[in-house]
Amino acid sequence: MTRLSAFALGFLSFALAGQAQAASSCPPGFAMLQASDTCVRISGRVRADALVGSSRIRSKDSYGTQASGRVRLDVRKQTEYGPLRAVISVGNMNR
Whole-model pTM over 0.85: no
Say if 14 falls within a structural domain.
no
Around 27, how many Cα atoms within 13 Å sit in the side-chain half-sphere?
A: 9
Q: Each residue of 21-77: pLDDT tens digit?
A: 444 588 899 999 988 889 999 999 999 999 888 777 777 778 889 899 999 999 999
Instruction: Strand 38-53: give its sheet, edge to edge.
Output: 31-32, 38-53, 62-79, 82-91
Q: Give, in degrees to the nearest 5, the angle at Cα 38 between 45 and 89.
A: 30
Q: Are residues 45 and 69 in contact, defined by beta-carbon separation less than 8 angstroms? A: yes
Say if 69 falls within a structural domain.
yes
Q: In angstroms, what CA-CA distances link 45 with 65, 80, 88? A: 17, 34, 14
Say if 86 falls within a structural domain.
yes
Range of the domain at 46: 27-91
